[in-house]
């Protein structure tokens, strides 16, 4: 932390630091989707247009620390009855820092019974993985997870 | 063909939600790796993976290079009738893989 100045006060006071980190945390919670690098934002736009993406309904199961970025198991679970008139039609996984922002796209429907899919992905470095689920009523839901990658996968 | 392995329960009760697994045998060369003389190894990936149940497509995946070698998928199906499941993939060179399994619904 900031070294003390001659008058005995820290360069950054503890109060300021707490305020700043509090603000940063709030931003993380309020803006989960839109603070993204350009190519990721472009990929999201390509996939879903400029439609509003709301946080929620999507759960990502992924290790917080991936020792090998070449093989990272991931499961996506979307809250949905998967009935004929209320189902998830698409789940799209995006990467923040891989060479390409798209990871994989799944098409689902009421025949699946459960909106849960598992696969294994590559992550080039520590980053967020963003998952967007499109429902049949054309609403978009999302979640993101931060993964610490020890050994890079060649994304 | 041995380039696609699947796991499907042989029987299920009508209406039961079953989990199925598929593992395609494929290098999924990302196109971002270099060989030992510094030349880019060309991309070679599976582009689509599908599953049909009783002739109807029930699952489709569009893959990008960020899917691992030997892609693995697990997903769910409602056991609605005794029928065949056909799993298939196709890569960017036109090579395909296919495996079938029969689900008996009681």
Q: For the beta carbon of residue B74, count every other beta carbon within 10 angstroms.
A: 16
User: Which of B64, B70, B81 is the best substitution to test chain A (most A C-beta atoms within 10 A)?
Assistant: B64
Which pLDDT tens digit goes with each residue over A39-64?
899 999 999 999 999 999 999 999 99
CA A46 to chain centre: 17
Mean pLDDT lowest among A1-5, A129-133, B48-52, B86-90: A1-5
Q: So what's the pLDDT on residue A38?
A: 86
> Percent of chain B scored above 70 by pLDDT?
98
Question: Who among A102, A116, A153 is closest to B76 (CB)?
Answer: A116
Q: Do B61 and A106 touch (CB under 8 A)?
A: yes
Q: Three-state SS for B54?
A: coil
Which pLDDT tens digit goes with each residue over B20-64?
999 999 999 999 999 999 999 999 999 999 999 999 999 999 999
B6 touches chain A (CB under 8 A): no
What distance in Å separates residue A87's CA from the closest CA in chain B? 13
Q: Do B59 and A107 touch (CB under 8 A)?
A: yes
B49 touches chain A (CB under 8 A): no
Q: How far is residue B72's CA from residue B69's CA, in Å, rounded to a whole number?
A: 9
Name the token pair of B86. 């056909």
Residue A11 has pLDDT above 70, yes or no: no
Q: What are phi and psi of A17, to 5 degrees?
A: -60, -45
Q: So what's the pLDDT on residue A15?
A: 63
Q: What is the DSSP string of chain A?
A: -PPBPTTS-BSS-HHHHHHHHHHHHHHHHH-TTTS--HHHHHHHHHHHTT--EEE-SEEEE--SEEEETT-EEEEEEE----BTTB-EEEEEEEESSSSSSEEEEEE--GGGSS-EEEEEE--SSSEEEEEEEEETTS-EEEEEEEEEEEE----
A105 touches chain B (CB under 8 A): yes
Residue with tokens 């699947």: B6
Q: So what's the pLDDT on residue A13?
A: 65
Q: How far is residue A110's CA from residue B20's CA, in Å, rounded to a whole number?
A: 16
Q: How far is residue A20's CA from residue A26's CA, in Å, rounded to a whole number?
A: 10
ipTM of the complex: 0.95
Residue A36 has pLDDT above 80, yes or no: no
Which pLDDT tens digit goes with each residue over A135-148?
999 999 999 999 99
Q: So what's the pLDDT on residue A37?
A: 83
A123 touches chain B (CB under 8 A): yes
Question: Who among B66, B71, B77 is closest to A111 (CB)?
Answer: B77
Q: So what's the pLDDT on residue B95?
A: 96
Residues of B in contact with A108 (CB under 8 A): 59, 75
Q: So what's the pLDDT on residue A19?
A: 61
Q: DSSP letter at B52?
A: E
What distance in Å separates residue B66's CA from the closest CA in chain A? 5
Q: So what's the pLDDT on residue A100?
A: 93
Q: How far is residue B100's CA from residue B53's CA, in Å, rounded to a whole number?
A: 10
Q: So what's the pLDDT on residue A151?
A: 85
Which pLDDT tens digit goes with each residue over A58-110?
999 999 999 999 999 999 999 999 999 999 999 999 999 999 999 999 999 99
Residues of A in contact with B53 (CB under 8 A): 111
Q: How far is residue A95's CA from residue A40's CA, in Å, rounded to a whole number?
A: 7
Q: For the beta carbon of residue A37, count every other beta carbon within 10 angstroms.
A: 14
Residue B19 has pLDDT above 70, yes or no: yes
Label residue B56 exposed, middle or buried (CB < 10 Å: 0-12, 13-18, 19+): exposed
Q: Which of residues 39-78 of A touch B (CB under 8 A)?
A: 70-72, 75
Q: How far is residue A122's CA from residue A22's CA, in Å, rounded to a whole number?
A: 32
- Of residues B26 and A11, more confidently modeled: B26
């Amino acid at each position: 932390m900031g070294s003390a100045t001659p008058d005995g006060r820290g360069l950054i006071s503890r109060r300021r630091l707490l305020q700043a980190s509090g603000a940063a945390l709030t931003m993380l919670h309020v803006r989960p989707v839109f603070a993204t690098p350009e190519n990721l934002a472009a990929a999201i736009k390509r996939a879903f247009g400029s439609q509003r993406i709301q946080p929620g309904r999507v759960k990502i199961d992924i290790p917080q620390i991936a020792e090998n970025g070449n093989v990272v198991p991931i499961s996506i679970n979307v809250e949905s009855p998967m009935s004929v008139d209320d189902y998830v039609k698409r789940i799209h996984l995006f990467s923040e820092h891989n060479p390409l922002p798209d990871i994989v796209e799944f098409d689902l429907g009421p025949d699946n019974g459960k909106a849960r899919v598992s696969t294994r992905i590559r992550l080039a470095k520590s980053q967020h993985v963003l998952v967007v689920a499109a429902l049949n009523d054309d609403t978009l839901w999302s979640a993101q997870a931060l993964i610490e990658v020890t050994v890079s996968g060649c994304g | 063909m041995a380039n696609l392995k699947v796991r499907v329960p042989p029987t299920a009760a009508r209406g039961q939600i079953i989990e199925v697994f598929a593992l395609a045998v494929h290098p999924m060369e990302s196109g971002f790796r270099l060989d030992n003389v510094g030349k880019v190894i060309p991309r070679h990936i599976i582009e689509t993976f599908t599953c049909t149940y009783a002739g109807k497509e029930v699952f489709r995946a569009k893959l990008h290079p960020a899917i691992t070698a030997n892609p693995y998928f697990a997903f769910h199906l409602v056991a609605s009738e005794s029928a065949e499941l056909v799993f298939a993939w196709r890569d960017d060179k036109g090579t395909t893989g296919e495996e079938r399994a029969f689900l008996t619904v009681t």
